[in-house]
Amino acid sequence: MNFSEGSIALMQNTGRLASGTINLTASQGLRFTGTTADGQLQTGVHGQQLSDGPGGLVQLQAPTVELLDGSTVNTKSFSAARGSDIQVIAPDTLWVKGFSPIDTSNFSGIFTYTYTNGRAGDVTVSSGQLQALDSGSIGSATLDLGDAGNVTVTATDSIVLSGQELKFGQFSTIFDISVGSRTGSGNAGDVVVTTPRLLIQNGGRLGASTVSAGNAGSITVNARDSVTVQGTSPSKLQSQISAAGNVLPPALQTLYNVAATPSGNGGNLVINTAQLEVTDNALVTVRNLGSGDSGTLTINADRIALKNKGSIAATTQGGNGGELMVNARSSLLIRDGGSISTNARGNGNGGNIEINAPNIVGLNNSDITAEARRATAATLRSTPRR
């Protein structure tokens, strides 16, 4: 089943009753590509809540689902009603790739949004392989008082997040964000990712964040075999996993009508895996660049390797620093500028670092540091496992 050139399936609720369901099922595959010739309408499936009736469900089922060249599956709430949920089931492969060549700000993706005080819908993805490439993204966002939805992604084989559109800087990501506004800010939802292997590279990102007064959500990664976060994009954007309070550029602050400094708290980040590798300037972090606190970062792995300036960090600008708990059942290797650090740059207390590992090896200008500039300094505790 193919949709192209701005073709859409639309579910719009203007009444008080609940929305129904859009269910697109194909025996071989679902393929969405591109936009209209003027780039104004993205090919795909769209759900809109315009009055009091709550949202329904947008469901896609096929062995392979492809969203390419700026096509999108999205639901939006413009009222107090909850937005529609999105469920994508692709047992073989889900491709979310690229952006419109006509308007590169239109990138491919699966999204739920709220623009008022209604909650955004949840996003649930089940696939064999998931490839989000060249700015292709999956996530939920609030741009006002309502909360964002939760994002749950499960892939029985692997997940790859890779690449960036250079003009607007959009990176491939699984995300949940509170953008909010000056009139009010809802909270971001939580992100749960489950897969044997997770690879984030070339500026890709897994994130839950706030740029407003709303709180960021938490991230849980369950990767049986490995989590690899490596490298940067051509524009030097770090590949990363982050639960964060971030500051938008001034132009985007004006566009979204948000304060220059976010006040919401950062979320927690938990990674459970056999092997974690963070390499080539990549980053795993809980941070808050506004006035709120950072969350807690917990890593449970057999083996952890931080190489060539790969880092694990908890950072705050004004609030209290987050805690770092690193549990390596077999070994922790830090080399060639790799680092583990906490840093409270303002008046907040520094977060503690606790490392539990039977073997800790540091080579070639690698560091483990805990700092606080003005308040209570953090503590660093390392306990060999037996």
Which two three-digit tokens encode residue 272? 């459970």
| Least confident span in 21-25, 131-135, 163-167, 224-228 | 163-167
Closest by alpha carbon to 178, among 140, 151, 138?
A: 140
Is pLDDT above 90 for 113?
Answer: yes
What's the CA gap between 185 and 211, in Å, rounded? 9
pLDDT band at 167 (very low <50, low <70, confident <90, very high): low
pLDDT in tens, 257-269: 888 888 899 999 9
133-to-228, 242, 263, 283 alpha-carbon distances in Å: 16, 19, 32, 19
Burial tier of 36 (Cβ tally within 10 Å: 0-12, 13-18, 19+): middle
Q: How many domains does the chain have?
A: 1
DSSP 70: T
* Segment 27-79, tens digit of pLDDT: 999 999 999 999 899 999 999 999 999 999 999 999 999 999 999 999 999 99
Which range marks the domain in which residue 262 is found?
2-383
pTM assigned to the model: 0.94
Which pLDDT does position 385 carry in this prediction? 54
Residue 242 near residue 205, CB atoms below 8 Å: yes
Distance CA 180, CA 264 (A): 10
Host H or E run for residue 252 = helix 250-256
